[in-house]
Amino acid sequence: MTANNLTPATGRAVVVSTVFQETEAARRLGLEAYSYPFAARAFLPLLRDWGETVLVDRPESRVDHALRQLVRKGLNPLHLSFLPLHATWLTPQAPNVCFPFWEYADLPDQPLGHNPRANWANVAGHAALILTASTFTRQVFERTGVRTPVHVVPVPVCPAYFAVSDWEPRQRYRLDCPCYVFPPVSTGAPLAADPWLPEEQHPSRFFEKLGGVYRGHLRRLLPRRLDQCLTATARLVQAWRAEYRKEAVVAHPVTPHLDLSGVVYTTVLSPFDARKNLHDLLTGFLLALGEQEDATLVVKLVINPERKVPALNLVLSEVRRLGLAHRCKLVFVADYLSDEQMVELARASTYYVTATRAEGACLPLRDFLAAGRPGIAPTHTALSDYFGPDVGFTIVSHPEPTCWPIDPSRRLTTTWHRIVWQSLFDKLRTSYDVARRQPGRYLRMAESARWSMHRHASEECVRPLLSAALDGLRAGLLDVPQRTPADESRTAA
């Protein structure tokens, strides 16, 4: 638990709850809700300017205590939750403010897998205020019939990105981080299997789906001791499989430094997140720029140490399976990078690229735009708030059916976006030509990207939006008893 030392005379105070503290970031990276603590950390300077701020993890056991401590000091605190709504702790001790990311066209308005907390519309209805990073998310809440006020307050971009120098065609950078580099592949490399046959199911995906079915449907039917025995067995099997699979990773050499020059495309993603669409990104890049020796794709993998081995095996085997001949360079970075290293990665890059199917914010793209690095991305979901042809190259996309990730039944109840692969291919080629042969056009896009992100998500622009939302809540709700969900346990999912 951390707090600032100032006690504003206005009595303003806020308890911020999230899933883990900053010191745990490397260990928890890539797990559920891992992006929420980063959003909370981005807001902390603004919150500390607004009032006394206390940051807690494990909200089910720490929020109420922190609120009582602030009340004893004569303050009138709010509770601000940076967690998905199905994992949010709503306290009766103070007005609850929720900050959820959401990237699908529909909001869950019913229990999923017999879990009432998965009913996002119901949880949102018990909050006093909802803050969200995008207009798209606000519209989804309003379209679902949620009556709780929803304010759009973008996540502030770290000021260090705005200070990154402009990209230079002849620049060279060395980053001190181990990485996996794929050298050029000859035309004699083995090709992928018959594309008309069903794609082989990766073992890690199979076990993940099996675990989801067990947690969503079978666990509640079994005696507690049997459940504990099965869970312990599953963990042992998982540990054994991780050790067994290390051989595939060791077979591919690790480069101790990341040397970047030429036209560098960077993306940040979890290989286990289907939204990120790694397959289209790899095939689009390798086929569009495979003949360009000075083109590099850097894939920064968002994974925690325990999943590093299966994640690397997944992406490395995917590249080998494609069997696409190329002279360009393909790099995977699996280790945790500090804030300073991420800024250096932006400095060494020419573009940020993503083939994502849905986004609640896409924080890395915003950071790179603030650094004056144009993007190659679609303009759906939250991206439509700040991305367009003036700051990069837009990829065409269309809605297609999908399921909510928290629905164990996997029913097609909502939509995300399918990108047009040919559009990705064309925009990658055009972007390379612009970087190499049209420096004036590149510079105009870079300047526009930096300025548009300053207007959209700099601390100076976000501060009044945040203050107006929180001050409005205090003025109208501090003396009104807060409603809480029907399930009194409020156990975090």
Q: Which of 373, 317, 319 lies closest to 345 in space, CA to CA?
A: 373
Distance from C-alpha of 485 to C-alpha of 488, rounded to nearest angstrom = 7
Nearby residues of 424 by Cβ (< 8 Å), 6 or more positions away: 280, 281, 284, 288, 355, 376, 395
Matching CATH topology for 2-156+459-477 and 165-202+256-456? yes
Distance from C-alpha of 238 to C-alpha of 433, rounded to nearest angstrom = 46
Nearby residues of 443 by Cβ (< 8 Å), 6 or more positions away: 166
CB-count burial class (<10 Å; 0-12, 13-18, 19+) for 257: exposed
The Cβ of residue 455 has, within 10 Å, a number of other Cβ atoms equal to: 10
- Which tokens go with 112? 């999923």
DSSP state, residue 185: B
Q: What is the residue type of 390?
A: D
**How is the chain split into domains, by residue range?**
2-156+459-477, 165-202+256-456, 204-247
Q: Is 172 helix (H, G, I), strand (E, B) or coil?
A: strand
Query: What are the phi and psi torsion angles at 365 (to 5°)?
Result: -60, -40
Q: Count Cα neighbours of 448 within 13 Å in the Cβ-side half-sphere.
A: 16
Distance of CA 474 to the CA centre of its chain: 30
Whether the Cβ atoms of residue 46 and residue 465 lie closer than 8 Å to each other: no
Q: What is the residue type of 230?
A: L
Q: What is the pLDDT of residue 295?
A: 97
DSSP state, residue 58: S
Whether the Cβ atoms of residue 304 and residue 27 lie closer than 8 Å to each other: yes
Which CATH code of 3.40.50, 1.10.10, 1.20.1270, 3.90.550 fits the domain covering 2-156+459-477? Answer: 3.40.50
The CA-atom distances, in angstroms, between 272 and each of 29, 168, 303, 408 are 12, 34, 9, 16
Distance from C-alpha of 122 to C-alpha of 389, rounded to nearest angstrom = 38
Query: What are the phi and psi torsion angles at 67 (to 5°)?
Result: -65, -45
Nearby residues of 22 by Cβ (< 8 Å), 6 or more positions away: 37, 41
What is the secondary structure of 92-103 as a DSSP string? Answer: SSS-EEE-----
Nearby residues of 360 by Cβ (< 8 Å), 6 or more positions away: 100, 101, 102, 103, 133, 134, 137, 381, 382
Q: For the sheet containing 150-152, what is the strand order?
A: 2-3, 52-56, 12-17, 76-81, 96-98, 129-132, 150-152
Residue for token pair 């595939």: 248
Distance from C-alpha of 158 to C-alpha of 163, rounded to nearest angstrom = 10
Q: How many residues does the chain have?
A: 493
Query: What are the phi and psi torsion angles at 394 (to 5°)?
Result: -90, 135
Q: Is 229 helix (H, G, I), strand (E, B) or coil?
A: helix
- Which tokens go with 199? 């794609």
* Report field, pTM of the whole predicted structure over 0.75: yes
Q: Which of 120, 94, 86 lies closest to 16 in space, CA to CA?
A: 94
Distance from C-alpha of 13 to C-alpha of 67, rounded to nearest angstrom = 9
Q: Which of 144, 141, 148 lies closest to 360 in space, CA to CA?
A: 141
DSSP state, residue 326: B
The torsion defined by the Cα of 194, 198, 204 and 207, in degrees rounded to 10, comes to: -160
Residues forming a β-bridge with 129: 97
Distance from C-alpha of 330 to C-alpha of 399, rounded to nearest angstrom = 30
Greatest Cα pair distance, the chain, in angstroms, is 74
Q: Which of 160, 174, 179, 171 lies closest to 350 in space, CA to CA?
A: 171
* CATH fold for the domain made of 165-202+256-456: Rossmann fold (3.40.50)
- Which tokens go with 456? 């959209």
Distance from C-alpha of 164 to C-alpha of 173, rounded to nearest angstrom = 14
Residue for token pair 């003036």: 390
Kindly list the averaged pLDDT for each block of 10 residues, start to end, along the chain of length 493: 45 91 56 83 96 92 94 94 94 96 95 90 96 97 96 98 97 94 60 40 56 64 72 66 49 81 97 94 97 96 84 85 90 93 98 98 97 98 97 98 93 96 98 98 98 97 97 71 41 37
Q: Which of 226, 262, 263 lies closest to 430 in space, CA to CA?
A: 263
Q: What is the pLDDT of residue 58?
A: 87
